[in-house]
């Protein structure tokens, strides 16, 4: 396979923004499947799926995930990656003592129950400030280990999601050393979320370089550049050897300042840039090969393996 192959990953929905912020945001199964198919035709080979309730709020409901996944799979063979982080509203949160809110652990686990080839593994604990609430995402060391063990048993490849250098050196590397994942290690560096996520890193080239330098050997990484950082962080990641470019309304609601985007617009722009830089766009089959799918160390094969 050519060394110039790059995976385009689209994150169409996320677990935070609402349609009131961008009417193009797909939140219902038929909307998400339609958007994913259009993005697949534009060049995306991986989709990071978040589920929503009928009222557009966040969920990890297994039936809703299964509906979304089945609709996507009926249209195309894009790699499906379901979230186990969920979101900061809906049935994903409950109020706890002191006026804070907690992301419901039992609900997060349902993200693994819909047959996806990959799932996000948030190897981090932080407090998110959203809509006037402080929401705790508690992924303690034992919870990180449990998620990694469950994904391995189900044949799910983890996408390690990290917000700071400590998440890489403490959480991801510790679990890899326990043999709970095999190369290539797929890692998403979330940057520029620092205004809403405690202990997250702002995006700048030096910070990104530092985090990339800490990655385990044989990693394949992408950057979630939040808001206006999406485009520069994506291009910067290519220079540093990144083989996955992540775009989508989950991370950035705008095409440019003052102009709301669609997922397809963001994918099309990314594909144009990659081609101008003489990169080749990976197909879903090539993306699976680059990501190590189906997972070779798994005990159970994923339902949607192709």
- Classified as helix, coil or strand, 58 is strand
> What pLDDT is recorded for position 306?
41
How far apart are the C-alpha atoms of 23 and 50, rounded to whole Å? 17
What structural domains does the chain harbor?
Answer: 5-291 (3.20.20.70)
pLDDT attached to residue 2: 72
Whether residue 155 is predicted with pLDDT greater than 60 in this model: the reply is yes
Close Cβ partners of 130 (under 8 Å, ≥ 6 residues apart): 16, 88, 89, 196
Q: What are phi and psi of 78, to 5 degrees?
A: -55, 145
Give the Å distances, CA to CA, from 280 to 28, 264, 301. Answer: 32, 18, 29
Residues 268, 124: Cα–Cα separation, whole Å = 32
Q: How confident is the model at residue 305 (pLDDT cuts 50, 70, 90)?
A: very low
Please write the tens of the pLDDT for every residue from 20-29.
Answer: 999 999 999 9
Residue 216 has pLDDT above 70, yes or no: yes
Q: What are the tens digits of pLDDT across the range 60-104?
A: 999 999 999 999 999 999 999 999 999 999 999 999 988 899 999
How far, in Å, CA of 5 to CA of 160, rounded? 21
Judged by average pLDDT, the poorest of 6-10, 74-78, 235-239, 300-304 is 300-304
Residue count of the chain: 306
Give CA–CA dist 298/128, Å, rounded.
Answer: 33
Q: How confident is the model at residue 301 (pLDDT cuts 50, 70, 90)?
A: low
DSSP string spanning 10-35?
E----SS--TTT-TT---SHHHHHHH
The whole-number pLDDT of residue 99 equals: 86
The pLDDT tens digits of the residues spanning 164-215 come to 999 999 999 999 999 999 999 999 999 999 999 999 999 999 999 999 999 9
Q: In this model, does residue 300 exceed pLDDT 90?
A: no
Q: What is the mean pLDDT of residues 282-306?
A: 81
């Amino acid at each position: 396979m050519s060394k110039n192959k790059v995976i385009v990953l689209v994150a169409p929905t996320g677990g935070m923004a609402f349609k009131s912020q961008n009417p193009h945001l797909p939140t219902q199964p038929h909307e998400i499947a339609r958007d994913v198919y259009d993005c697949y035709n534009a060049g995306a080979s991986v989709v990071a799926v978040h589920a929503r309730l009928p009222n557009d709020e966040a969920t990890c409901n297994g039936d809703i995930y299964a509906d979304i996944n089945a609709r996507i799979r009926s249209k195309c063979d894009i790699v499906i990656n379901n979230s186990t982080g969920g979101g900061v509203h809906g049935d994903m949160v409950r109020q706890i003592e002191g006026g804070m809110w907690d992301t419901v652990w039992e609900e997060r686990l349902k993200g693994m129950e819909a047959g996806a080839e990959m799932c996000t593994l948030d190897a981090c604990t932080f407090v998110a400030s959203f809509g006037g609430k402080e929401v705790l995402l508690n992924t303690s060391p034992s919870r990180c280990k449990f998620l990694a063990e469950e994904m391995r048993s189900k044949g799910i490849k983890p996408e390690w999601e990290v917000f700071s250098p400590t998440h890489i050196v403490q959480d991801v590397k510790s679990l890899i050393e326990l043999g709970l994942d095999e190369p290539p290690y797929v890692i998403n560096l979330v940057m520029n979320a620092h205004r809403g996520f405690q202990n997250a890193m702002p995006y700048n080239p030096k910070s990104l370089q530092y985090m990339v330098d800490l990655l385990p050997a044989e990693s394949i990484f992408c950057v979630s550049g939040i808001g206006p950082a999406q485009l520069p962080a994506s291009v910067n990641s290519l220079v540093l050897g990144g083989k996955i470019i992540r775009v989508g309304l989950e991370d950035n609601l705008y095409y440019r300042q003052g102009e709301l985007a669609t997922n397809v617009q963001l994918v099309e722009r990314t594909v144009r840039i990659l081609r101008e830089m003489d990169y080749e766009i990976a197909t879903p089959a090539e993306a699976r090969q680059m990501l190590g799918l189906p997972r070779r160390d798994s005990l159970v094969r994923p339902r949607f393996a192709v």
